[in-house]
Amino acid sequence: MSTIEPENDFMLDQHHIWHPYAPLNGQYTSYHVTSTQGVHLHLNNGQVLIDGMASWWCAIHGYNHPRLNQAITQQIKTLSHVMFGGLTHTPAIELAKKLIHLTPEGLNQVFFADSGSVAIEVAIKMAVQYWQAKQQPNRTKLLTIRKGYHGDTFGAMSVCDPETGMHHQFNDLLMKNIHVDGPTSGFDATDVAHELRPLEQALHHHADELMGIILEPIVQGAGGMNFYSPHYLKGAHELAKSAGILFIADEIATGFGRTGKLFACEHAKITPDILCLGKALTGGYMTLAATLCTQNISHTISEKGALMHGPTFMGNPLACRVASDSIDLLLESHWEQNIRNIEARMLKKLTMCQNKPYVRSVRILGAIGVVELTRPVNMNTIQPYFVSKNVWIRPFGCLIYLMPPYTIEMKALDILCSAVYDAVNEIERLLL
């Protein structure tokens, strides 16, 4: 039996509990949250922070929402979990019905998964088994653009950026996919023909081995918070259709309103063959994801057998129930106006950072605000700095960004934006 030397909870956390993308050596501080309410995080020292991250973009309604609390409490009284193999239940059926209704037309088949990364794994398996069923097993590669991020599991890592991403040390172990330069001209660009050429060339050179194209529509998330044009997205979709291959849209970060549309694919009016959802699906209450596809894909695979994936907690009733209520809560709210208000406020406040030393660019779309620096921040100095300002902002690399809950009040958003502006004014001591 392992033993732990007597120590306080803080020291135990520092030396015994892994945190995301952090060494287990006590070098980085983790702040102890005791409760949450609205857009606020309450720390064990009595401090209250305004959350500018929506807990990695999923808590779109804020925290401790009475309606979602009630949904999950009611569900746990009757059915908290049951295996999905050979069994089904109302929460999964109701959620599937809503997703089929809301997502782009033609996505009629739903696979429930545990997390966004697993949703990507399922999408890749769908593509592999689809082409195997089509008697083209040589199609084993996906085409994607650099600076993308699709998750931390092995299939997902294989379509992340192999050079600038977080997973380069695993490159020798991953599927060998095709990565090309992506668009750089921004959301408002209309002439994107030259930016599509790398995709066109790759489609030509790898015509017989490609399964499909996979992209994060409109916004690349953790790979760099890059925004690109709906015209590019539409062009990439048309290239996939012309080549007769699949188009996979990773909307794990962008789904459920974050870019100002319910789904980012709507900016280009496209229907992907496969769509991955996660993060905001449950309003931040439970881990759940979904991979949707067309009947063509599901029927082609099913003619040859089963899709070979089946998580233990697939279709968990608690998660499905709270996701269903979260969707209802979103649709019944003034979410579009809320996001327009957030966008307008960040445009006004964050663009003040433009032309400051070390600032490369400022970009805002929907409820996403990004200040990109010319050099990386020092997390050991900038994180405590933001906490001292009573805000929770979690930069990474050269990026200081905001993705607040949609329910945030303008006064609280102003405080977040001011904290970013103040950090930029003191940026020399907050850089590496």
31-64+336-430 maps to CATH 3.90.1150.10: yes
- Matching fold, domains 31-64+336-430 and 68-332: no
Question: According to the model, what pLDDT value does residue 5 have?
Answer: 66
Give me the active site residues, please.
21, 149, 250, 279
CA nearest neighbour of 293 among 247, 256, 232: 247
Question: According to the model, what pLDDT value does residue 24 have?
Answer: 84
Q: Are 356 and 427 in contact (CB under 8 A)?
A: yes
Q: Are 142 and 221 in contact (CB under 8 A)?
A: no
Is the whole-model pTM more than 0.85?
yes
CA nearest neighbour of 58 among 409, 404, 341, 324: 404
CATH code for the part of the protein at 68-332: 3.40.640.10
**pLDDT, tens digit, 9 for 90 and up, residues 217-231:** 999 999 999 999 999
Question: According to the model, what pLDDT value does residue 432 have?
Answer: 62
CA distance 66 to 50: 19
CA distance 214 to 160: 10
Residue 125 backbone dihedrals phi, psi, to 5 degrees: -65, -40
For the chain, residues with pLDDT lower than 70 are: 3, 5-6, 432
**DSSP of 104-134:** STTEEEEEEESSHHHHHHHHHHHHHHHHHHT
Question: According to the model, what pLDDT value does residue 356 have?
Answer: 94
- The domain segmentation of the chain, as residue ranges, is 31-64+336-430, 68-332
Question: According to the model, what pLDDT value does residue 212 have?
Answer: 98
Question: According to the model, what pLDDT value does residue 25 have?
Answer: 78
Question: According to the model, what pLDDT value does residue 6 have?
Answer: 60
